[in-house]
């Protein structure tokens, strides 16, 4: 976070209002009459990670010291954690308890900015904004993070001008004038209007892949929606006010060869009366062990922050795709949201660490769904034989056992846990099979699967195009390792990679009862086994040769 932005946040929250313009009817507190997914945001405290009187865990607060968050004011409000259990055992045990039926608040919700300007229109010059009631303010954008590769530019202004938007930001006084400094800009026309959706079912699983890969279905910066199933005629158009479970897939970046696999997460919330979904809660699993070049921090965040934060928002650097299950009962979404919040608590405590293969965004999110009882089909590893060969090749060419271990783990990890696009496809198609929208074999349903079958009233597909900016255009994510290699330069030295700085976790905040996660051996067990077999085989061969030599000497004596 830049010093200027840190100061703006600190001033807006902690200093007298004299240095800032007074909010008018067009601007409100970021938690006023707002939801965070399924929860009422008004019961939380707007603060920063330096809060001394909120109930949030010290570990979670440490990651947000200079960021605006919403925090519970009492431990009774907050999701807990079972410190003696790992993240997966914790979820499995907790969902069997009565407490799982009541959704608690996240230990932190990353809000980003202290105020919201809704129903605003940005002027053609990009320097003024008109709020509700006709109030006009000077308009500015938050600073670009120094490590971010790109930012809003003239094409962004052209896209936003005369557009009605919802913004998170800070109202300041600059040159004696009230100025709204925007951090998040959410176009009002992102709304999904169920009344206008025609029913267009998918015929086969491949259609779900084709929907993601088709670049022609939505123009720049826009949203397209498609109803693919409804339980009864008209159920899809009756989504207003209904709870939802949203499966989100973000595409490949156009300027980072390490990000071609995309990103994955699960959202919860309620459909707005006019198709609004900016306040859905998105659960973003992201590395805590380094400083993101875009300022991303793993957290539960409002959807408008997740997609359209000017630095960290997904829509500024790639397209996104979402499968939305409209529910008649919130219990299915409540179970997921409560479980992922507990998982994040383990994450903040460093009970486990983010890993490109074993614990990435897709793996952690889909683990929660499976631990709830949704047996999303697995697809096995890419290839264990390829993993061994790649380990030897990469370790030798890079002169790095670490690089070799990384490629080995990627190729030997189960694919729906490894690749966000396959997690999206597997979960999406299995949901269609569960509700009867696609043919499936006989299967004994778990309690959670039966809830899904009973509660899902309609399923929609949504595609959100990338917002124009100075960033290179992104594309659909890869669906296989081979596709990944086809889309990257053959010489790894030519890959576009954004280096990031490490973020060491303070030893003083680590729970002494929880051992630090052990780093995997740089030499995988199968490689050790093969090496041991070769060594033993060579030793046996030498022993036989030595025995034959001795025997020959004796016979000649």
pLDDT digits (tens, 9 = 90+) for 121-163: 999 989 999 998 899 999 999 999 999 989 999 999 999 988 8
Burial of 154 (0-12, 13-18, 19+ CB in 10 A): exposed
How many angstroms separate the most distant Cα atoms in the chain? 113
d(CA 184, CA 51): 23
Note whether residue 326 is domain-resident: no
| For residue 215, pLDDT beyond 90 | no
Mean pLDDT of the chain: 89
Least confident of 60-74, 149-163, 285-299: 149-163
Average pLDDT over residues 352-358: 89
Domain termination site, one of 149, 170, 185? 185
Average pLDDT over residues 269-289: 97
Least confident of 115-119, 316-320, 542-546: 542-546
Q: What is the pTM of this model?
A: 0.90
Average pLDDT over residues 229-252: 96
Domain termination site, one of 150, 185, 220? 185
What per-residue confidence (pLDDT) applies to 7? 38
Note whether residue 150 is domain-resident: yes
| For residue 545, pLDDT beyond 70 | no
Burial 178-198 (b: 16+ CB within 10 A, else e): bbbbbbbbbbbebbbebeebe
**How many domains does one find in the chain?**
2
| For residue 474, pLDDT beyond 90 | yes
Residue 140 to residues 22, 127, 173, 186, 368, Cα–Cα distance (Å) = 17, 7, 11, 15, 40
Do residues 65 and 13 touch, judged by C-beta distance below 8 A?
Answer: no
What per-residue confidence (pLDDT) applies to 280? 98
Query: What percentage of the chain reaches a pLDDT higher than 90?
Result: 72
d(CA 46, CA 28): 13
Tokens of 62: 């440490």
What per-residue confidence (pLDDT) applies to 527? 59
Torsion angle defined by CA atoms of residues 285, 418, 226 and 232, in that order, rounded to the nearest 10 degrees: -90
| For residue 16, pLDDT beyond 50 | no
What per-residue confidence (pLDDT) applies to 24? 67
Domain that holds residue 550: 524-557
Backbone φ, ψ for residue 487 (5° rounding):
-95, 0
Note whether residue 554 is domain-resident: yes
Note whether residue 23 is domain-resident: yes
| pLDDT tens digits along 366-422 | 999 999 999 999 999 988 888 888 777 777 777 788 777 778 888 888 999 999 999
DSSP, residue by residue, 96-111: TSGGGGS--B-S-EE-
DSSP run (H or E) holding 412? helix 401-412
Note whether residue 58 is domain-resident: yes
d(CA 405, CA 390): 9
Q: Which long-range contacts (CB under 8 A, 24 or more apart) does 30-34 make?
A: 30/68, 30/70, 30/111, 30/113, 30/114, 30/115, 30/116, 30/168, 31/70, 31/111, 32/116, 34/116, 34/279, 34/302
DSSP, residue by residue, 268-298: EEE--TTS--TT-EEEE---SSEE-TT----
Note whether residue 79 is domain-resident: yes
| pLDDT tens digits along 302-336 | 999 999 999 999 999 999 999 999 999 999 999 99
Give the pLDDT band (50/70/90) at residue 2.
Answer: very low
Domain termination site, one of 185, 210, 233? 185
What per-residue confidence (pLDDT) applies to 500? 93
Note whether residue 119 is domain-resident: yes
DSSP run (H or E) holding 389? helix 384-397
Note whether residue 472 is domain-resident: no
User: Residue 430: left (phi > 0), alpha (psi -120 to 50), or beta?
Assistant: alpha
């Amino acid at each position: 976070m830049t010093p200027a932005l840190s100061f703006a946040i600190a001033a807006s929250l902690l200093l007298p209002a004299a240095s800032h313009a007074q909010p008018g009817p067009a601007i409100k507190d970021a938690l006023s009459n707002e939801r965070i997914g399924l929860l009422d945001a008004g019961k939380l405290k707007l603060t920063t990670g330096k809060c001394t009187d909120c109930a949030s865990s010290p570990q979670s607060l440490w990651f947000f010291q200079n960021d605006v968050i919403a925090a519970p004011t009492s431990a009774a409000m907050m999701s807990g954690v079972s410190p003696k259990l790992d993240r997966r055992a914790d979820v499995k045990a907790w969902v069997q308890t009565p407490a799982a039926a009541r959704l608690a608040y996240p230990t932190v919700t990353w809000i980003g900015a202290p105020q919201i300007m809704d129903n605003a229109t940005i002027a053609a010059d990009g320097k003024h904004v008109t709020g509700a009631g006709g109030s006009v303010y000077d308009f500015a954008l938050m600073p670009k993070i120094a490590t971010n590769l790109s930012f809003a530019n003239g094409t962004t202004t052209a896209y936003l001008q005369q557009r009605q938007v919802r913004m998170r930001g800070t109202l300041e006084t600059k040159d004696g004038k009230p100025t709204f400094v925007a951090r998040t800009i959410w176009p009002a026309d992102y709304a999904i209007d169920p009344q206008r959706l025609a029913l267009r079912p998918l015929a086969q699983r491949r259609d779900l892949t084709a929907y993601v890969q088709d670049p022609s279905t939505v123009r720049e910066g826009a949203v397209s929606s498609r109803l693919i199933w409804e339980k009864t005629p008209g159920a899809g158009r009756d989504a207003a006010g209904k709870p939802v479970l949203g499966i989100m897939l973000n595409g490949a970046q156009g300027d980072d060869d390490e990000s071609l696999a995309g990103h994955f997460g699960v959202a919860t919330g309620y459909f707005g009366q006019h198709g609004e979904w900016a306040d859905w809660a998105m659960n973003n699993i992201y590395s805590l062990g380094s400083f993101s070049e875009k300022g991303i921090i793993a957290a539960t965040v409002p959807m408008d922050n997740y997609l359209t934060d000017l630095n960290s928002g997904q829509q500024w650097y790639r397209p996104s795709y979402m499968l939305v299950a409209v529910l008649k009962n919130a219990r299915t979404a409540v179970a997921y949201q409560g479980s992922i919040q507990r998982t994040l608590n383990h994450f903040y405590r460093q009970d486990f660490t983010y890993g490109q293969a074993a614990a990435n965004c897709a793996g952690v999110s889909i683990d929660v769904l499976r631990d709830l009882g949704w047996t999303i089909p697995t697809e096995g590893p890419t290839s264990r034989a390829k993993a061994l060969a790649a380990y030897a090749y990469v370790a030798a060419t890079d002169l790095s056992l670490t690089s070799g271990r990384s490629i080995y783990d990627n190729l030997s990890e189960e694919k729906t846990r490894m690749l966000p696009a396959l997690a999206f496809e597997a979960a999406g198609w299995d949901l269609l099979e569960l509700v009867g929208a696609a043919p499936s074999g006989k299967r004994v349903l778990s309690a959670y699967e039966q809830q899904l079958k009973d509660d899902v009233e309609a399923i929609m597909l949504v595609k959100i195009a990338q917002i124009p900016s100075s960033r290179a255009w992104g594309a659909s994510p890869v669906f296989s390792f081979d596709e990944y290699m086809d889309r990257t330069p053959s010489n790894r030295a030519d890959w576009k990679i954004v280096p990031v700085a490490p973020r060491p976790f303070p030893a003083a905040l680590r729970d002494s009862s929880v051992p630090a996660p052990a780093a995997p051996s740089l030499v995988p067990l199968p490689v050790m086994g093969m090496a041991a077999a070769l060594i033993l085989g060579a030793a046996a061969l030498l022993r036989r040769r030595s025995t034959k030599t001795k025997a020959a000497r004796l016979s000649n004596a």
